[in-house]
Amino acid sequence: MTGRRTLALVAASTLALSSCTSLPSYTEPQALRSFVRSTPTEEAIAPVAGQEPDLLLRDFFAASGKPIQNHQAARAFLTPDAARRWDDAASTLILDRIDLNAKAGATQNAISYVVRGTVVGALGPGGVFSPDHGDFEAEIQLSKVDGEWRIDSLPAGTVFERVELRNNYSPEELFFFDPNQKMLVRDRRWIYKGQKSMDTSLLSLLVEGPKGPIAAGVTTEVPVGATFAGNDKGVYRFNGFADLSSEERHRFAAQVLWTLAKSGTQGPYNIELDGTPLDPQAPVLTIDDVAEYNPNATSGSVSPLYAVGNGSLTLVDSSTLTPVAGTLGSSGRVESADISGDYVAGVIVDGEGAGRQSTLVAGPVNGSVESVLQARTLTQPSLESHATALWTVLDGRTIARVARSTSTNELSQSEVDATKIEGLLEPDGEGGEGSSISMLKLSPTGVRAAMVIGGKVYLAVISRPAAGEKMIANIIDIAPSLDNTVVSVAWQLDGSLVVGTANQDAPIWRVETDGSAVTQLPSGNITAPVVAVAASANTLYVTDARSVLQLPINSPTTAFWREVPALQGVRAVPVVGS
């Protein structure tokens, strides 16, 4: 659903936003400045003598992407009175582009412009990006001061183009823990580049804790009230950690070290908690000391490729197909599957139409599988890490989780609280049956879930309201610009999504976890719809209207997809084992 935002100015600056979705508005100046603690390292944009009003206005929007000192660079484009009145921290909107049109009635000393653009998101406290989609419109008035054009009336809040976000901010990652404290989870933030100390900015944010949608699904080893004191002659000093156990200190070390390492800050790292080394046995640490928490641990490993085709699950090896042992390799009725290690979950279908029945089965890849549950339709199963549980959607509406005991292999089913999705599944009021969940894929950490509902891709966080309970929370339309064409989705190891669509001109996309970028992938020889996508550490796989294709990750935009050799002439669904 596309919203419209109209910002208008009458005399004093006023702001009106209206839409079916809403953008955040913040009253505190931390949206962009809470982590900016040093002087800029680049020359600021400034007004040019004799500059025409439209060019000055464009430079103002460019300068608005530089947040230091209450947007001092942007305030230089305002009259002294407007500079005092402008509430730059009210909100921060990111537009795809900015268009200017002069209004009638301009004089030699005064002119007004209507500013329009398409909203792609908002930047909130701590550098959290929130995707959105809607129309922006504002009126800005300029007048001459000592013969030079200056802005004398404008709305509250900051607005700049997406290109300025990319020019002035860097997407970085903080790391928090999944609820089981076994895996590090990425929390993507946008940090201003024009400062000297990216490392201390990130550690300040790490101590502040998770923000935005991901906060509902992660934990941290930072105690309440703890602080980061800064980098003192190469030593990162933290206070308020005295009560942590040795295990908790080690996990906190993993959060700090991987946050620093992923930002490009070179080790080794000297870290002190309350005046003592974080690890008394190793005063200087490297990421090797926390290697078990490597968020990219599987990036260098080879993930086996399987395929579901002609009703059977097969292992794809070079130019040969080997059916797995048992029912899944021989029944001829397999519709979908997921594999983690040596454990498999699959859907077997009997009958058609009203008599259709789908059965979820699970067990060892090359062993005997057991029936778990039944429904008319079941989405492709999605396994948690180490196959501790599997998820599927019954009849397009009911999300089920089946937990597996790793000691006894016993299975127990529970329904996931998905009440926050119900509004997305309701009929449209025009006699339709409403949307359904056609696909659900868990992230590698199990903290997020990507879902395809009614041609859109949604991202949600898996929260734990109480012990043993699971809830789908903080649901976001992560790529509204794809406009109801989404057919399939899969996770990449770096936390991004690969999305297949029915759009013949743009059938395959990469979507960042925070929705800040939706990037078309090479697609010269793909024929939409892309009904299945999968990703290993090094390769992308798709099933288009004709066959199963593969492409190395990070290929140039002109690259062509090639058929998977063993699957030439076979239309199948690729399944990458984890």
Would you list the domain boundaries of the chain? 53-167, 170-293, 305-425+434-576
Mean residue pLDDT of the chain comes to 90
Could you give the CA distance from residue 61 to residue 98 in angstroms, rounded to a whole number? Answer: 9
Average pLDDT of 144-156?
Answer: 97
Supply the pLDDT for residue 301: 62
pLDDT grade for 195, boundaries at 50, 70 and 90: confident
pTM of the predicted model, to two decimals?
A: 0.89
Helix (H) or strand (E) holding 457: strand 456-463
Could you give the CA distance from residue 461 to residue 437 in angstroms, rounded to a whole number? Answer: 16
Of residues 407 and 98, the one with the higher pLDDT is: 98
Supply the pLDDT for residue 436: 94
Whole-Å CA distances, 271 to 234, 276, 284, 444: 9, 8, 7, 29
What are the tokens at 324? Answer: 């797995």
Supply the pLDDT for residue 43: 63
Supply the pLDDT for residue 223: 97
Q: Of 11-15, 60-64, 520-524, where does mean pLDDT reach its minimum?
A: 11-15
pLDDT at 304 over 50: yes
> What is the architecture of the domain spanning 53-167?
Roll (3.10)
* β-strand partners of 339: 344
pLDDT at 300 over 80: no
pLDDT grade for 352, boundaries at 50, 70 and 90: confident
Average pLDDT of 546-558?
Answer: 92
Each residue's pLDDT tens digit, 6-46 = 333 333 333 333 333 223 333 333 333 333 334 444 566 89
Supply the pLDDT for residue 468: 83
pLDDT at 1 over 50: no
Could you give the CA distance from residue 233 to residue 477 in angstroms, rounded to a whole number? Answer: 45
pLDDT at 147 over 90: yes
398 three-state secondary structure: strand
Helix (H) or strand (E) holding 70: helix 68-75
CB atoms within 10 A of CB 45: 18
Each residue's pLDDT tens digit, 362-403 = 999 989 999 999 999 999 999 999 899 999 999 999 999 999
Q: Cis (ω within 30 of 0) for the bond into 529?
A: yes
Q: By percentage, how much of the chain surpasses pLDDT 70?
A: 91
Average pLDDT of 520-525?
Answer: 93
pLDDT at 428 over 80: no
Supply the pLDDT for residue 22: 29
pLDDT grade for 424, boundaries at 50, 70 and 90: very high
Supply the pLDDT for residue 427: 72
Supply the pLDDT for residue 298: 64
What are the tokens at 270? Answer: 């000297």
What are the tokens at 277? Answer: 């080394």
Angle at 211 between CA 210 and CA 213, to 5 degrees: 110
Average pLDDT of 105-112?
Answer: 97
pLDDT grade for 184, boundaries at 50, 70 and 90: very high
Each residue's pLDDT tens digit, 431-488 = 456 789 999 999 999 999 999 999 999 999 999 988 889 999 999 999 999 989 999 9
Supply the pLDDT for residue 38: 42
Average pLDDT of 533-540?
Answer: 95
Q: Which among 29, 3, 33, 6 is positioned nearest to 17, based on CA atoms?
A: 6
Each residue's pLDDT tens digit, 119-136 = 999 999 999 999 998 999
CB atoms within 10 A of CB 352: 8
Whole-Å CA distances, 166 to 44, 188, 408, 534: 16, 14, 50, 28
Whole-Å CA distances, 362 to 77, 201, 329, 451: 65, 46, 13, 22
pLDDT at 529 over 50: yes
Which class does domain 305-425+434-576 fall in?
Answer: mainly beta
Could you give the CA distance from residue 118 to residue 101 in angstroms, rounded to a whole number? Answer: 15
CB atoms within 10 A of CB 301: 10
The answer to whether the beta carbons of residues 491 and 521 sit under 8 Å apart is no
pLDDT at 67 over 80: yes
Supply the pLDDT for residue 115: 98
